[in-house]
Every structure is written in C-alpha cells, then in structure tokens.
Chain A
C-alpha cells in the first residue's frame, strides 16, 4: 500500500479536515489506486528536464508602487461570518 489510513488522517489534519474513520478508510483505498496510477510517470526519464510550473514562465510583472483604494472596509467585511465594523472576529486563538 502506498498510503495508509493513518497517513490519510495525518495529511487531512494538516489540511484542517477532520474525517470520520469510515471516510478515511474509503479515501485511503481510493487515493492508493490513484497514487498507483500516478506511478507510471516513473517510466519516463526526466533527469535533464527543467520543471514547467506555468505556461507563462516569466510572470514577475512590475508596476509603479502607487497606493490606491479599490474597495471600502465595509465591502471587504461584508461577507464575514463575524465582524465588528473594523475587524474580522475569530474565536480565541490560545
């Protein structure tokens, strides 16, 4: 097996997902199939190949650093589950 249910649970928790035991078992089986399928890339020799991360390879686009205001604070806060008119409110952190 390429990926165990324990590994699935660990990766899920890193991605802030808390899955039921049933779902972890199901995902582990499915991900195992998928990862086995992905192994076919090992058949290709890529030792001298530069990775291609984006079709547009030179994307460091510069512009003048001029401050501007596109959106109001009210707009930016408008979809928050909880806010006080100035800040996003979250449950306690520690």
Chain B
C-alpha cells in the first residue's frame, strides 16, 4: 500500500467502505504527502490536519455508511467556496481572517456524502488570472516542473490533485479556470453547464459565467463528484431544476460508433504549439479507432471571444466586488475617520493589482457613454457566439480541440495582462455560451514534457456524453504518468 496516495477517488472510496483501510490511515497518508510535497508546490492556503484527523477517528468508530459515496475520502476545495468555521480568503488580503458561518451548497453536499475537507486551495485572487500568480499569499508551482505555473485560476486545486495530496478537488470555471489548470497539471477537469451546479456560497466573480466543477485523477472520479454536487438548489435562482442523470452509468463503453466529433478549424490552426497539436491529434485518432467519425465545424467568432468575455466578466466583477467595503466582513483600514474614506482605503489596501485593474475596467465599460459601445455590444456578440455553438452542434455530438495553445508556461513569463488573457482563447467561448466542457489529459508534449489537455465540449446538459467519451479515451490511451516528486 505504499502508493496509496496516488490511487483514484473511486479506488480509495471502495477500500474505505470495505474497511480495507481506516479513515484515519487515509487522512494521515494525505497529511504526510502534503508535508513532503507542499514545500515544492505551495498548493494549499490552509491544511485542516487536526479537524480532519478528529473527524476520521469519529468515522472509524461509527463504521462505513454505504449511503455516503465519499465516506472518509479526503478532498480539497478552492478557497472561494465558503466553508463553515474554516477560513475562506479567495486568496485576497481583503478577506484575510474571514471565517464563514455557512457552507456553500456544494460543500454541504460533499460533507453529507462523507467527504473530509483536508485543505483549501490557492488560486488567483478572486479567480482573476490564468496562472495562480495573482494570489495575494503565495505562488503555486506546477507539480511537473517547479519553474512552471499550474494554470489558473484554480491552480491550487489542479496542483494538489496532481501532487496526490488528496483524492479530488473542486475548482471554479469562469473563463477556463478549471480546464486550464487541469490541462497544465495533467488531470481531469469538468466545467458543468451553467445552472447544473448551485453557486450558493461561491464568492462571485462573473455571475453569468461562473460554475463549480470537479478536478480529479480519473474521469470516473469526476463523474462521482459531479453526481453529488449537481442539482437544483432553491438558494441559487440560476440553478436549473432538471433531473440529474446517473453519470457513472454512462461510463465503461469502449465503442464510440456513431459519435460525431466536430473539429473547429479555429481551434486547430495557426498559433497552436506543434507538441499540443500532435498529442491532441493522436487522441482524436484513438477516438476514430474506437468508431467515432470527425467532421469539420466552424466557430467563426472564436477570435472575438476574448474581447467579449473580458468586457462581460469585468463588468460583473466590478459590481460583485463592490460588496467588499470593510463593513460586514474582511479587511478594514482602522485609521479612516470618515465612511467613504474607510471604504476607499480598505479597498485600495485590500485588493491586488489585477483585481483593481478589472474593477476599474468594469466600472469604465458600464459607465454612461460607454455602456452601449462595450457592455451591450459584448452581450450581443455573446448571443452570436452561442448561435455559433448551436449551429456547430447541429452537425456533431461533441466538439474537440486543445484546452490551450501551449503547455504550462514559465512563472513570470506573461507579465503583460493582455498576453495572459490570450491564454484563454479556447476556453472562454464555452462560458459565454453556458455550455459544459472537460479537459482530459492525453499525454506529455514531446518538447516540453509537460501535460497536454484535450478539451471536449458539448451541448447544454450533455455532461453524461462528455464523461462517456472521455472515459473511453482515457481507457484506450496510454496511462497518464504521475509527476515525480
């Protein structure tokens, strides 16, 4: 059992249920792994060692509960999901010391399913970034290469799963923030359809774009977590009241006959690193060998998606982040003698640069005189982008392409904000359209020796289909190596 930490969530959950291993043993093994790898990856903002061990001992005493699919399984949560009694910072100084008095709905559901919270994951401050370099507290390293970023904004979640510190994590995806770190860290990441998972208790960045989803070491693990967190929640009016299918039932198929995979020319052309293209093409060839056919499709507005996304996202962010004013929670400048001055000094000192930049940009595009030219215009293009997808899905069942034009870049390499935004070219359209997408690791780039992620996208509420295709590919491709640490 020396490699217990590298097992999948599905494997460890079975061993826990059968009492082949004790919960305490599993939790302790994760804590040991955290202790030995954390000095290199810096994935976590806090570790719940004592609470997790106490909970483990209690569970061992009570014995397994078959009604709880994640009974005793240690998990990590991105630090913008509120956790009752556990600090939640969004990797921002402005929320330093904030201890929520309620759980996010997804957290409540995971706890009810028996999962044990073992730590909170680092991220770009308020989920604004693609590298996790924007955290106010620490930079997370890619477990495959310490000089490289883990992607973002859920970079801590990606790194903790890839470094085998836990058996699965939750991330959030506003413009690619689950799929990009999953791709850079060589794990599975799933961004569900907008409305599939409740956002209650997720600190909002772009409310019409944000979704919570699983980040795991196998497709089956992602299916198991999605099963628990998906579903209607009266506390989130945008969560959709629609039956949650049995996601695991869609797994185990080896035959992809009849499946039409759309390949958008905009995703497979210029600017794509040859090593990324080669790894993704190999995966598509594998799908074809399993019976799938490919069809060329067009997502002709791909080039406009980044501009559209950043107008909408910053507009929503500037509005959402106005709640941080030093009154009800979070950081307050204690020297200010007058209210407006207190707001201003608290926000100026509490927010990092990227957050301030986006708040200002958001306030600008929403201001009178610019609203129509920027915000309304972007919302119109957003509808056209959704139409683009609808037309493409008339010709195919899933769309496939790379998650990112390159593998993980080096820390500090993208100092210019616009250059960083361009990393999201293949992921953000999906958030604008509100559709589901997955990142599946398909091997290492021949040059960088860093993981490559294939992105699978589907129509609204097609998570079952995405998981089924990803699972078939995962089982037929060479097994993804684990980073040496």
| Residues of chain A having any CB pair with chain B under 8 Å | 3, 7-8, 11-19, 23, 27, 30-31, 33-35, 37-44, 46, 49-56, 59-61, 63, 70-71, 75-76, 78-82, 88, 90-93
Residue of A with least CB distance to B345: A18
Compute how far the CA of A30 lies from the CA of B417 in the bound complex, rounded to whole angstroms.
7
B3 beta carbon closer than 8 Å to chain A: no
Across chains A and B, which 5 residue pairs bring their CB atoms closest together, nearest first? A55-B434, A51-B379, A81-B332, A79-B329, A52-B383
B367 beta carbon closer than 8 Å to chain A: yes
Residue of B with least CB distance to A39: B307
Q: How large is the interface on B (under 10, 10 to 19, 20 to 34, 35 or more residues)?
A: 35 or more
Residue of A with least CB distance to B341: A91
Q: Which of B12-20, B234-242, B288-296 contacts A (4 or more CB under 8 A)?
A: B234-242
Q: How far is the CB of B63 from chain A (nearest CB, A)?
A: 32
Residue from the list B100, B351, B382 in contact with A52, Cβ < 8 A: B382
Known: A38-B374, A46-B380, A81-B326. A71 touches B102 (CB 8 A): yes
Give per-residue flags for B334-361: 1 if the beta carbon is below 8 A from chain A beta carbons, else 0.
1011111111110110010100110111
Is B417 a contact partner of A34 (Cβ separation < 8 A)? Answer: yes
Compute how far the CA of A39 lies from the CA of B208 in the bound complex, rounded to whole angstroms.
22
**A–B pairs, 5, beta carbons within 8 Å:** A11-B367, A23-B356, A39-B307, A44-B301, A63-B234
Using Cβ atoms and an 8 Å threshold, which residues of chain A touch B100?
79
Is A38 a contact partner of B342 (Cβ separation < 8 A)? Answer: no
Is A92 a contact partner of B237 (Cβ separation < 8 A)? Answer: no
B409 beta carbon closer than 8 Å to chain A: no
Is A31 a contact partner of B307 (Cβ separation < 8 A)? Answer: no
Q: How far is the CB of A84 from chain B (nearest CB, A)?
A: 14
Residue of A with least CB distance to B98: A79
Is B208 a contact partner of A54 (Cβ separation < 8 A)? Answer: yes
Known: A27-B360, A38-B311, A92-B337. A51 touches B383 (CB 8 A): yes
Give per-residue flags for B34-71: 1 if the beta carbon is below 8 A from chain A beta carbons, else 0.
00000000000000000000000000000000000000
Compute how far the CA of A56 lies from the CA of B307 in the bound complex, rounded to whole angstroms.
21
Give per-residue flags for B373-391: 1 if the beta carbon is below 8 A from chain A beta carbons, else 0.
0101111111110100000
Q: How far is the CB of B150 from chain A (nearest CB, A)?
A: 24
Compute how far the CA of A63 lies from the CA of B237 in the bound complex, rounded to whole angstroms.
10
Is A78 a contact partner of B99 (Cβ separation < 8 A)? Answer: yes
Using Cβ atoms and an 8 Å threshold, which residues of chain B touch A11?
360, 363-364, 367
Is A80 a contact partner of B327 (Cβ separation < 8 A)? Answer: yes
Known: A12-B360, A46-B384, A54-B208. A41 touches B418 (CB 8 A): no
Compute how far the CA of A30 lies from the CA of B434 in the bound complex, rounded to whole angstroms.
29
Using Cβ atoms and an 8 Å threshold, which residues of chain B touch A60?
237
Residue from the list A61, A79, A92 in contact with B330, Cβ < 8 A: A79
Is A16 a contact partner of B384 (Cβ separation < 8 A)? Answer: no
Is B307 a contact partner of A76 (Cβ separation < 8 A)? Answer: no
Q: How far is the CB of A19 from chain B (nearest CB, A)?
A: 7
Using Cβ atoms and an 8 Å threshold, which residues of chain B touch A90?
327, 339, 342
B416 beta carbon closer than 8 Å to chain A: yes
B91 beta carbon closer than 8 Å to chain A: no
Compute how far the CA of A43 lies from the CA of B377 in the bound complex, rounded to whole angstroms.
11
Residue from the list B327, B360, B378 in contact with A88, Cβ < 8 A: B327
Give per-residue flags for B283-321: 1 if the beta carbon is below 8 A from chain A beta carbons, else 0.
000000000000000000101101110110000001000
Given contact pairs A40-B303, A54-B238, A55-B460, a sample of 20 additional A-B residue pairs in the complex whose CB atoms are under 8 Å apart:
A11-B363, A11-B364, A14-B363, A16-B340, A16-B343, A18-B345, A18-B348, A30-B418, A34-B421, A39-B307, A41-B304, A41-B308, A51-B379, A52-B379, A52-B382, A52-B383, A70-B102, A71-B101, A81-B330, A81-B334
B433 beta carbon closer than 8 Å to chain A: yes
Is B329 a contact partner of A56 (Cβ separation < 8 A)? Answer: no
Residue of B with least CB distance to A43: B304
**Interface core residue of B311, B327, B351 (most chain A CB under 10 Å):** B327
Using Cβ atoms and an 8 Å threshold, which residues of chain B touch A33?
416, 418
Is B418 a contact partner of A37 (Cβ separation < 8 A)? Answer: yes
Compute how far the CA of A39 lies from the CA of B383 in the bound complex, rounded to whole angstroms.
18
Residue of B with least CB distance to A62: B237
Known: A11-B367, A44-B304, A59-B238. A91 touches B360 (CB 8 A): no
Compute how far the CA of A91 lies from the CA of B5 in the bound complex, rounded to whole angstroms.
51
Known: A11-B367, A80-B328. A34 touches B361 (CB 8 A): yes
Using Cβ atoms and an 8 Å threshold, which residues of chain B touch A27?
356-357, 360
Residue from the list B238, B334, B339, B380 in contact with A92, Cβ < 8 A: B339
Using Cβ atoms and an 8 Å threshold, which residues of chain A touch B195?
55-56
